[in-house]
C-alpha cells in the first residue's frame, strides 16, 4: 500500500475513532502511531511517540497555558468578571439592548484575562443572563449574546488558540497575541452593531434599563480598574518587549492572586477548585498537543499535504481564490468539528499551501482563529451554545441557535474585512519592540 493510501486510511480511521467518542488527543495519537508504524516501521513510531511527548512536556513556551488559565480562574473567583459587567452595565445599560451590549463588553474584558471561550461564556452567562431576564430581554438575544461574546476568549489575547497555532506552526506567541488585539476590538464592535440592528428591528427584544447616575458609573469603573491594570501590565509588557509571553503570564497570574487575596475571596476550598480546574485544562491541552505532534509526522509521511499543495497551486483561481476555498472548508468543518480538533487536523495540510502563496503566517493565524470562533456557535455542534444551554437549561436549544445568527454574520463580516485589509491584524506586530 502506498503512503497516500495509508494516509487516507488513517484519516478514515481517525474519524471512526471520533464517532466512537474516543477523546481527540488519543484519536490523533493512535492514528499517528499506527500510521507511522505502517509506513516507517514500529521502531520509528515508538521513537516519534517518545520524542514528541518529551519535547511538548518540556517546552517552556507552553507554560503560558497553565498560568493564563490560572489567571482567568482567579479573576472569576475574585469577582473581577462581575466588576467588568457592572461597569459595562452602568455605562450602557440604559440604552436599548444595553444589557446585551454590556455582556459583550464584559466577555471581551474577561477574555483578556482568561483566554478561554468556555470560561468567558460560563462566567458572564451566570452574571448576565439573570439580569437580562429580569428586564424582559428576549431569550434568543440574551443567550445568543452570551454564546457569541464567549467566543472572544479565543481571539482576544491571551488566547489558547493562538498558543496552539504558534506551537504547531513554529510562530511567535507574542506576535500572535498582539495581532489579535485590533481584530478582537473590531469583532467586539461588530457584535455591538449586531445588537443595535436586532433591537432596532425588534425593540421588545432588548428594552432599555434604568439610567445609572454618573457617580455610580465612575464607582464601577474604579472597581474594574484592577482588571485594566493587569491587562496593561501583561499584554502591554509583551508589546513593549519588556516581557516574554511566559513572563507576562506569570506576572498576570501573580497580580490576579494578589487581588483575590486582598478581596478575601480566596478561601481554601475555592483555591483547591481553582488549582484543579487549571490542572484539568492544562492536561487536556498538553495531551492534544502531544497527539497532534504524533499525527503531524504521519501526515507528512503520507505525502497528502504535498499532493494537496500541488493540486491547489495548479488551479487557475489565483491566491485569493485558493484562500477563499480554504476558509469555506474551515466554515464547513466548523459545523461538526470542535475548534482545537479542527486546528490540529487541518494545519499540517493547509499551512504549507498558505505559505506557498506568500501570505503572512501571523495574519493567517488570526483568520483561522476567527473561523474557529464561528465554529463555536455553528449548528449542530456549536460548543458554546451547549455551554450556554447548561447555564440556562430552561431555554430551548433551537432558541439559542436562533439568537446566534446575527453574531455569526458579524463574524463573517469581520473575516471578510481582515481578508481585504490584512494590516488591521499586522500593524501592531510590525511595530513591536
State the pLDDT at residue 278. 87
331-342: b (≥16 Cβ within 10 Å) or e: bebbeebbbbbb
State the pLDDT at residue 414. 94
Contact status, residue 113 vs residue 75, Cβ threshold 8 Å: yes
State the pLDDT at residue 223. 83
380 burial (CB, 10 Å; 0-12 / 13-18 / 19+) is exposed
Average pLDDT, the chain: 84
State the pLDDT at residue 361. 94
Residue 242 lies in a domain: yes
Average pLDDT over every residue of 32-59: 87
Kindly state the cell numbers that stand for 67: 498560568
Residue 419 lies in a domain: yes
Longest dimension (CA), the chain: 75
Q: For residue range 394-411, what is the model confidence (pLDDT) as tens digits?
A: 888 888 888 889 999 999
Contact status, residue 197 vs residue 191, Cβ threshold 8 Å: no
Q: For residue range 31-41, what is the model confidence (pLDDT) as tens digits?
A: 989 999 998 88
Residue 342 host element (H or E): helix 339-356
Higher-pLDDT residue of 377, 194: 194
Q: For residue range 310-369, what is the model confidence (pLDDT) as tens digits?
A: 777 677 777 888 888 888 888 887 777 777 777 877 887 788 888 888 899 999 999 999
State the pLDDT at residue 309. 66
* CA pseudo-torsion sign 348, 300, 282, 257: negative
Kindly state the cell numbers that stand for 387: 455551554
Distance between CA 298 and CA 233 in Å, rounded? Answer: 41
Distance between CA 348 and CA 297 in Å, rounded? Answer: 9
Residue 349 lies in a domain: yes
Q: For residue range 272-299, what is the model confidence (pLDDT) as tens digits?
A: 888 998 888 888 888 888 888 888 888 8
Contact status, residue 379 vs residue 335, Cβ threshold 8 Å: yes
Residue 190 lies in a domain: yes
Q: At what angle do helices 64-77 and 80-92 cross, to 10 degrees?
A: 60
Average pLDDT over every residue of 171-194: 92
Distance between CA 122 and CA 389 in Å, rounded? Answer: 10
Contact status, residue 224 vs residue 86, Cβ threshold 8 Å: yes
Residue 146 lies in a domain: yes
Distance between CA 108 and CA 124 in Å, rounded? Answer: 10
Tally the domains of the chain: 1
Tell whether the model's pLDDT for residue 233 goes beyond 90: no
Contact status, residue 414 vs residue 193, Cβ threshold 8 Å: no
Structural domain including 70 reads 63-430
State the pLDDT at residue 411. 93
Average pLDDT over every residue of 200-207: 87
Distance between CA 106 and CA 306 in Å, rounded? Answer: 44
State the pLDDT at residue 433. 58
How many contiguous H segments (helices) and E segments (strands) does the chain have?
A: 22, 0
Residue 86 lies in a domain: yes
Residue 137 host element (H or E): none
Average pLDDT over every residue of 130-154: 86
State the pLDDT at residue 269. 85
State the pLDDT at residue 422. 93
Residue 314 host element (H or E): none
Residue 55 lies in a domain: no
Tell whether the model's pLDDT for residue 12 goes beyond 90: no
Tell whether the model's pLDDT for residue 148 goes beyond 70: yes
Q: At what angle do helices 214-223 and 80-92 cross, to 10 degrees?
A: 150
DSSP letters spanning 221-274: HHHTHHHHHHHHHHHHHHHTTSS-HHHHHHHHHHHHHHHHHHTT---HHHHHHH
pLDDT band at 115 (very low <50, low <70, confident <90, very high): low
DSSP letters spanning 155-198: TSSS-HHHHHHHHHHT--HHHHHHHTHHHHHHHHHHHHHHHHHH
Q: Measuring CA to CA, which residue among 417, 380, 344 is closest to residue 28? A: 344
Q: Which residues contact 18 (CB under 8 A, 6 or more apart)?
A: 24, 27, 341
Contact status, residue 400 vs residue 389, Cβ threshold 8 Å: yes
Read off φ and ψ for residue 254, nearest 5 degrees: -65, -45
Residue 28 lies in a domain: no
What pTM, to 2 d.p., does this model score? 0.84
Distance between CA 404 and CA 334 in Å, rounded? Answer: 15
Average pLDDT over every residue of 140-158: 86
Peptide bond into 380 cis (omega under 30): yes
| DSSP-based three-state secondary structure for 315 | coil
Task: Report the 10 Å Cβ neighbour count for 266.
Answer: 17
Amino acid at each position: 500500500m502506498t503512503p497516500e493510501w495509508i494516509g487516507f486510511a488513517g484519516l478514515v480511521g481517525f474519524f471512526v475513532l471520533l464517532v466512537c467518542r474516543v477523546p481527540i488527543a488519543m484519536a490523533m495519537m493512535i492514528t499517528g502511531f499506527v500510521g507511522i508504524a505502517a509506513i516507517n516501521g514500529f521502531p520509528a513510531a515508538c521513537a516519534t511517540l517518545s520524542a514528541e511527548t518529551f519535547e511538548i512536556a518540556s517546552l517552556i513556551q507552553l507554560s503560558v497555558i497553565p498560568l493564563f488559565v490560572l489567571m482567568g480562574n482567579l479573576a472569576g473567583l475574585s469577582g473581577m468578571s462581575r466588576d467588568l459587567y457592572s461597569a459595562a452595565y452602568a455605562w450602557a445599560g440604559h440604552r436599548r439592548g444595553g444589557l446585551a451590549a454590556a455582556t459583550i463588553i464584559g466577555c471581551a474584558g474577561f477574555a483578556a484575562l482568561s483566554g478561554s471561550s468556555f470560561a468567558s461564556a460560563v462566567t458572564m452567562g451566570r452574571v448576565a443572563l439573570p439580569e437580562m431576564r429580569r428586564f424582559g430581554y428576549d431569550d434568543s438575544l440574551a443567550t445568543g449574546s452570551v454564546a457569541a461574546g464567549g467566543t472572544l476568549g479565543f481571539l482576544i489575547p491571551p488566547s489558547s488558540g493562538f498558543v496552539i497555532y504558534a506551537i504547531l506552526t513554529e510562530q511567535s506567541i507574542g506576535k500572535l497575541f498582539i495581532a489579535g488585539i485590533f481584530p478582537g476590538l473590531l469583532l467586539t464592535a461588530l457584535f455591538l452593531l449586531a445588537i443595535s440592528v436586532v433591537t432596532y428591528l425588534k425593540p421588545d427584544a432588548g428594552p432599555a434599563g434604568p439610567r445609572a447616575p454618573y457617580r455610580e458609573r465612575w464607582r464601577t469603573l474604579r472597581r474594574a480598574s484592577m482588571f485594566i491594570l493587569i491587562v496593561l501590565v501583561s499584554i502591554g509588557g509583551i508589546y513593549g518587549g519588556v516581557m516574554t509571553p511566559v513572563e507576562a503570564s506569570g506576572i498576570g497570574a501573580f497580580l490576579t492572586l494578589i487581588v483575590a487575596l486582598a478581596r478575601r475571596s480566596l478561601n481554601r476550598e475555592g483555591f483547591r477548585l481553582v488549582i484543579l480546574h487549571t490542572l484539568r485544562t492544562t492536561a487536556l491541552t498538553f495531551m492534544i498537543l502531544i497527539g497532534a505532534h504524533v499525527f503531524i509526522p504521519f501526515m507528512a509521511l503520507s505525502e497528502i499535504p504535498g499532493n494537496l499543495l500541488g493540486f491547489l497551486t495548479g488551479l487557475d483561481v489565483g491566491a485569493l481564490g485558493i484562500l477563499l476555498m480554504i476558509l469555506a472548508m474551515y466554515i464547513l468543518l466548523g459545523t461538526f468539528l470542535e475548534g482545537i480538533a479542527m486546528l490540529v487536523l487541518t494545519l499540517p495540510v493547509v499551512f504549507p499551501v498558505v505559505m506557498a502563496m506568500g501570505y503572512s503566517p501571523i495574519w493567517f493565524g488570526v483568520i483561522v482563529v476567527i473561523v474557529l470562533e464561528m465554529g463555536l456557535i455553528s449548528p449542530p455542534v456549536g460548543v458554546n451554545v451547549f455551554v450556554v444551554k447548561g447555564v440556562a437549561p430552561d431555554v430551548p436549544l433551537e432558541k439559542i441557535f436562533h439568537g446566534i445568527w446575527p453574531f455569526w454574520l458579524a463574524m463573517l463580516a469581520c473575516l471578510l474585512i481582515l481578508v481585504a485589509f490584512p494590516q488591521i491584524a499586522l500593524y501592531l506586530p510590525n511595530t513591536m519592540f
